[in-house]
Structure 1
């Protein structure tokens, strides 16, 4: 199972214009909704025994004073799967989520807070492309986001207990997080409990929120960071890389190594890439930031490097490439939040 994430990365990144099996969207075929009062509706939760996150949490998880609400990316991508939304009671699918997104993405925030991640009726990958978007895709996306809203509402009402929060997500998960911030944090009192939002692998314009702003300081709180990653010296083509052309010069980008608006970094600044063998490889990446995109070299000194050299869109590596950088930054922002707000917090 550890290798699934890596080969999913390669296959997704190498894929281009694909024809997917599809069918008309039908309410009668929408999978059963989650019940977030049931622990089985969470893929990550502090009360889950033998959690895959146990190896990443501090020795005493109860010392963590913050929470992380994490939304995983699209993992139903099979072009032969005509379903619009995932069945959250599919054990095989949930095992994949646990051993990929939770192990290799959510784990980046495990040193900063207790992680809550709801299982949701994620929309199939094809909803992001025409002709599928306007032929069922928007409805499938709405189903997925309504689950996220329900999960977050339950979490705030029953689990959070006034604790500061990190919001984090990737790709489809980040798109849902973006709307979650809009609906629950932007211009509300809950903003005062927001340590930071990591909206990774999605398009976000600087005027999307009324009050929430991008953060260009590694200690900053109550705002968000975002980036999308491509390979240096590989020019995307419009018919094959539609996402790039929606992001180019049109999306907030924060440097995920320096956490400011620096346009270049060198290898010695890179804290570490998390590979599928669970090893962290520091000093493997240097980046340039321009056109609203993070441009990365082919990671050096890692296994299977040749395969990475065949890829030009590093979207699926948006978090793994900068795993240690994210982990350390989340801790820094959390400590800074408590240093600045300790007198206001009633915990």
Structure 2
């Protein structure tokens, strides 16, 4: 069986994601990167360039036992961007024709993350030349990957969506891509009015990015609010919160100074309410047990995790029976979605209903 890990990036630009202890090598020249010719760019007119799309939902059709049923005729879409599943340490960007990587993407995250949104929405998930685990020239690799995502999103808007409202969702590298789309394609544009919400999970947007980076898109303050953004980063109570928080805040501090708004954005996904940052296990709707991997998602386990926002981090206490393995330092990055599978699912349903009610008279 393949390793169940998908890489958590550490960037020194923008709104970085994380992996405890990792460092980014700063390139001195682009010649080596250019010499390794990337695979051809995906053609998003082809169904093979989508993990989920017009030709079908693929692995995102999964509905684990204990989850609400899939929507039968949804009025809203989800544009979902998967995290890093390409584990090469020699190649910078994935070839989207790599069937082994695509199969692993489908098994590990399309089924376990993207499927959380099939209770509310039709799912579109592009394959893209994702940046790999290789450390050097990562900014260039990410730029290449983002170019694919931007083209996929533009293709979706022009040829697929037909004016439908949408949710943006992504985790880790996928969350980074969503954050870029929000800034470059959504904020202050006509598309902002069609965005139900953005789930930007497992990176480090900070409170001060609103309204510095995002001048028009607010933070989601309440569970039913629309047109807004949520984020969380999961760690165990044993994690060094102060040290991790300082690492996550550093890019913002380096850019804007040591402001009070430097704290990483944490929305508790059990409550989805900024006024209620602490939630006990009795409120948890259902976590997905076990590591991401092949096979059917095991039945969801309700009331199995508590969560509280502290130092801008989501401190989680999962039931040991969930059998979830942390990264070094108590980082629960791989489980940012799985811990709150039913909570995310039900919240996406709530926000879509709220959006549709508000726009019924339009």
Scaled by the length of structure 1, the TM-score of the pair is 0.85
2: distance between equivalents of 1:170 and 1:52? 17
2:179 is matched with which residue? 178
2:286 is matched with which residue? 272
Q: For 1:224, what is the secondary structure of its paired residue? A: strand
Give the RMSD, CA atoms, in angstroms.
3.0
Question: Do the aligned residues in 2 keep the contact of 1:271 with 1:282 (CA within 8 Å)?
Answer: yes
2:203 is matched with which residue? 202
Q: For 2:196, what is the secondary structure of its paired residue? A: strand
1:116 to 115, 121, 124: 124
Question: Do the aligned residues in 2 keep the contact of 1:4 with 1:100 (CA within 8 Å)?
Answer: no
Instruction: Report how far residue 15 of structure 1 moved.
Output: 7.5
Instruction: Report how far residue 216 of structure 1 moved.
Output: 1.1
2:59 is matched with which residue? 52
2:93 to 85, 103, 107: 85
2: distance between equivalents of 1:282 and 1:38? 39
- Where do residues 155-234 of structure 1 align in structure 2 (5 Å cutoff)? 155-204=156-205, 205-206=209-210, 207-234=212-239
Unaligned 5+ residue runs, structure 2?
A: 10-17, 254-261, 291-296
User: Residue 244 and residue 230 in structure 1: after superposition, are their counterparts in 2 closer, same or farther (change >3 A)?
Assistant: farther
1:337 is matched with which residue? 355
1:320 is matched with which residue? 338
Question: Do the aligned residues in 2 keep the contact of 1:46 with 1:114 (CA within 8 Å)?
Answer: no
Alignment deviations for residues 232-273 of structure 1 (CA, whole Å, 9 cap, x no partner): 13216969x955866995322211111112231111011111
2: distance between equivalents of 1:290 and 1:181? 26
Instruction: Report how far residue 282 of structure 1 moved.
Output: 1.1
1:75 is matched with which residue? 85
User: Residue 65 and residue 4 in structure 1: after superposition, are their counterparts in 2 closer, same or farther (change >3 A)?
Assistant: farther
2: distance between equivalents of 1:158 and 1:10? 32
2:268 is matched with which residue? 255
Q: For 2:272, what is the secondary structure of its paired residue? A: coil
User: Residue 217 and residue 18 in structure 1: after superposition, are their counterparts in 2 closer, same or farther (change >3 A)?
Assistant: closer
Q: For 1:287, what is the secondary structure of its paired residue? A: strand
2: distance between equivalents of 1:9 and 1:142? 19
1: distance between equivalents of 2:236 and 2:34? 39
Instruction: Report how far residue 230 of structure 1 moved.
Output: 0.8
2: distance between equivalents of 1:247 and 1:341? 36
Q: For 1:281, what is the secondary structure of its paired residue? A: coil
Question: Do the aligned residues in 2 keep the contact of 1:111 with 1:331 (CA within 8 Å)?
Answer: yes
Alignment deviations for residues 63-104 of structure 1 (CA, whole Å, 9 cap, x no partner): 1110000000111234xx211111110000000000011011
Residue 302 of structure 1 pairs with residue 321 of structure 2: yes
2:111 is matched with which residue? 103
Unaligned 5+ residue runs, structure 1?
A: none
Instruction: Report how far residue 48 of structure 1 moved.
Output: 2.5
2: distance between equivalents of 1:198 and 1:75? 19
Scaled by the length of structure 2, the TM-score of the pair is 0.81
Runs of 4+ in 1 over 6 A off after TM superposition: 9-15, 57-60
Instruction: Report how far residue 309 of structure 1 moved.
Output: 9.8
Instruction: Report how far residue 177 of structure 1 moved.
Output: 0.6
Q: Which moved more, 1:310-319 or 1:229-238?
A: 229-238
Residue 143 of structure 1 pairs with residue 134 of structure 2: no
